[in-house]
Structure 1
Amino acid sequence: MKNKVVVLGSLNVDTTLHVANMPQPGETISAQSKTSSPGGKGANQAVAAARSNADTCFIGQVGDDQSGQMMIKALKDNGIDTAHINIVEDQGTGSAVILLDENGQNSIMVYGGANQSMGSAVIKQAEELIKSANFIVAQFETPQERTLEAFKIAKENGVVTVLNPAPAATIMPELLAVTDLVIPNETESATLTGIEVTDEASMDANAAKFQKMGVKNLIITVGDKGAYYSTEAAHGFVPAFKVDAVDTTAAGDTFIGALCSQLSGDLSNIAEALTYAQKASSITVQSMGALPSIPTTDQINATYKN
C-alpha cells in the first residue's frame, strides 16, 4: 500500500545564477548563465515523494501571479493534489536566488512572500486531509505556528509528524513536543542543539539532546558522507553513494521526500528507507536544477540494479 504523504511547505520559483566561484564580501562577479525552475523546499519534497510513488498532497500558499500558477501546474504535472494551495492577492509567490559554482556547491537566498503570510485558515481547511495521511512533512520556509497547528491535528489522529528544520532557526518548544521525527543536516543539528557534529559520538549526543527537547527520533544528513539515524529501537549510520556532484540543490529535499515514500509508520524499516533515500539524492546531485533533477522510482531502480 502506498504511503499518503502530506507536505506543508514552501513554493518558490528558483532563479539560478551559474558562477565560476562564489563571490567574496564586497566582490562583484559576472554570472556565466541564468536558469529558472519551480522549487522551494516544500515543493521539492512533495515531488520527490510523488516520484517515488507516494500518494502526495500539498498544503501551501502562492500569490495571484504567473509564478503561482507555474508552481501549481508543476505540482499537478507530478500527480500531486493541489486542492489545499491557497492563492492570495496581497503577497507575491515565494522566490529564491541560487548561486551555483563550478564545483556544484550553492548559496541560496530566499524571499518568503506568500509562504510566510500563511494564516490559520489554510490549516483548518486542510484538517480532514491531515487526518487521512500516514505522514505530514514540514520545513521552516512557512510559519512555525502553522506547522504547530497542523502537527497537533496529526498527532491527535495517529499521523507521523516529520520536521525538516531548514533553514535553521529557533524552534518553538511546543512544536518539538508534537514532532515524531526531526531531520536536520549536520549544520542545522549543531545550531539547534549547540553540539557540533564531528563523529558518531557527537551525533549520539545530538540525539540525546533532541530527546531532552522532546523528539525521540532523529536523522542527521551529512552531505556526501551519508546519514545518521537514532530511533527508540536502534541507531546507526547509512553511507552515501559516491557520485560526481553537478548541483547539490534539492539533494536534501529529495532525500526527505523519498524517505517518507518508503518509511513504515513505526520506523521499523528506517535503515532500508534511508538507503533508498540516499540513492534518490545521489541521482539528484548529478543533474542541474531542483525539480527537474529529482528521480522517479524507476530511475532509482535502474541506476542501482543491485
Structure 2
Amino acid sequence: MTNKVVILGSTNVDQFLTVERYAKPGETLHVEKGQKSYGGGKGANQAIATARMGAETTFISKVGKDGLADFMFDDFKEAGMNIDYILESETEDTGQAFITVDAEGSNTIYVYGGANMAITPEDVDKAASKIKEADYIAAQLEVPVPAIIQAFKIAREAGVTTVLNPAPAEKLPEELLSLIDVIVPNEFEAEILSGIPVTDEKSMAQNADYFLDLGIKVVVITLGEQGTYYAVEGDSGLVKAYTVQTVDTTAAGDTFIGAFVSGFGVSKMNLVEAIDYANKAASLTVQKPGAQASIPLASEVDNI
C-alpha cells in the first residue's frame, strides 16, 4: 500500500556556491570552487522526496520556456512522479534560487520566483481529478496563495488531507488557514505566523495551541538538531533527531515533508512513527551537498 500524494509548488534551478565563510558587507572573497547548477525549488524537492519514498506522486508546477529546467525532467521521471501538470509560462522565466553554503554547512538562499509566481487557480483546476483521488496534497509558499487556496478547496471537498509547509513564512489569509489540516513550519516560520518565539518546550506548546485554535488538526514544528515537536488535540511531544555530520542543510526540510506525507498512515504508521521516519530521511539529506541530489531513496532510509 502506498499513499497517493499531490505536491503543488515551485520548480527552481539552484545556482550553488560553496564558501569558507560569508563575506561581510562591502567585502570581496575568493572561492575555490565555481558555481554549479542543480535542480531545486521547494515544490520540486518535496515532490522528488515523496516519490523516492515510494508514494504515488503528482507534481503541479510551472516553468519558463527558456529551457533552464529541462535537465530536471530526467530526475522527475527517474523518481517516478507524474509530471503531466508541470506547465509552461508564456511570459515568465524559470524560477531560480541562489544558494551559498559555508564550511559549517549553513546556507543562505535568495529566490527569484519567475514562472512559479504565475501559477493560477485555473492551472490547479487542470489537475482537479488527481487532487480528488489523493490521500494528501502538500504545498509551500513559493507559489501564489490563491492557487494553494483553490487546490485545498478541491481537496477539502473530496476529503483529501491538506498539508501546508509555510515556507518562506508570511502572514496567511483566514481563507487559507481554514483549509489546512496539517501545518509543518520550522521554528522560525512558526514564530512569524504565531508571534511567539520558539525557545523551549513551553513555547513550542504555545505555538501549537495557536495553530490548533485556528482549527488545524495536526501541528508539526521541525527544530533541526533538536528534533521535531508535534501536537494534536490531547497529545503532544518531541521526537528526537538523528545525530550526523552535517555537510549541507539544503532540502532537509523538503525531504522531511516528502517522507512524512509518503509515510503517514501507510501500514498503520502513526504520527510519531511518520515523524521519526521523516527525521531519518532528513538526516541522510544533510550529509550530502545540493538539494535534489541529496534526497535519499526509501531503501536508504529503511536501512537506518
Same fold (TM over 0.5): yes
SS at match of 1:66: coil
Contact 2:121 2:151 in 1 (8 A): no
CA distance in structure 2 between the partners assigned to 1:42 and 1:249 by the alignment: 13
What's 1:72 paired with? 73
CA distance in 2, matches of 1:112, 1:292: 21
Contact persistence 2:6–2:137 (CA under 8 A): yes
Q: Secondary structure at the match of 1:110?
A: strand
Residue 239 of structure 1: how far off its partner (Å): 0.6
- CA-CA distance at 1:24 after TM superposition: 2.0
Letter in 1 for 2:13: V
Instruction: Tell me by how many angstroms 1:47 deviates.
Output: 0.8
- Alpha-carbon separation, structure 2, partners of 1:298 and 1:12: 27
State whether residues 229 and 238 of structure 2, in contact with CA within 8 Å, keep that contact through their aligned partners in structure 1.
yes
Q: Counterpart of 1:286 in structure 2: which amino acid?
A: Q
1:137 is aligned to 138
Q: Which residue of 2 aligns with 1:11?
A: 11
Aligned length: 302
More divergent stretch after superposition (225-234 vs 20-29): 20-29
Distance 1:268 1:80, change over 3 A: closer
- Percent identity (aligned): 47
Offset at residue 256 of structure 1 (A): 0.6
CA distance in 1, matches of 2:15, 2:269: 39
Instruction: Please name the residue that 2:52 is paired with.
Output: 51
Contact 1:60–1:85, Cα closer than 8 Å, also in 2: yes
Q: Secondary structure at the match of 1:77?
A: helix
Residue matched to 1:164: 165
Q: CA deviation at 1:233?
A: 4.7
Q: Which residue in the other structure is 2:24 paired with?
A: 24
Q: Residue 135 of structure 1 aligns to which amino acid in structure 2?
A: Y
The CA distance in 2 between the partners of 1:81 and 1:22, in whole Å, is 39
* Match in the other structure for 1:175: 176
SS of 2:68 mapped into structure 1: helix
Q: 1:182 and 1:52 mapped to 2: Cα distance?
A: 20
Q: 2:272 maps to which residue?
A: 271
Unaligned runs of 5+ in 2: none
User: 1:135, 1:63 → 2: CA distance?
Assistant: 27
Secondary structure at 1:128 match in 2: helix
**Are the equivalent residues in 2 in contact too, given 1:11–1:71 (CA < 8 A)?**
no
2:227 aligns with 226
| Aligned counterparts of 1:293 and 1:99: Cα–Cα separation in 2 | 16
Task: State TM-score, norm by structure 1.
Answer: 0.96
Partner of 2:2: 2
AA partner of residue 83 (structure 1): D
Is the Cα contact below 8 Å between 1:17 and 1:32 reproduced in 2? Answer: no
CA distance in 1, matches of 2:144, 2:29: 34
1:265-291 Cα shifts (integer Å, max 9, x gaps): 8x9701001111000000000001101
Amino acid at match of 1:30: H
**Does the 8 Å CA contact 2:247/2:289 hold for their aligned counterparts?**
yes
Work out whether residues 89 and 118 of structure 2, in 8 Å CA contact, stay in contact via their aligned partners in 1.
no
Q: Which residue of 1 aligns with 2:100?
A: 99
Q: Give how far 1:29 is off.
A: 2.2
Moved more, 19-28 or 112-121: 19-28
SS of residue matched to 2:219 = strand
Q: Which moved further from structure 2: 272-281 or 67-76?
A: 67-76
- Which amino acid in structure 2 is aligned with residue 93 of structure 1? T
Match of 1:196 in 2: 197
The Cα RMSD (Å) is 1.3
Show the 5 A alignment for 1:37-48. 37-48=38-49
CA distance in 2, matches of 1:253, 1:96: 15
Q: Determine whether 1:245 maps to 2:246.
A: yes
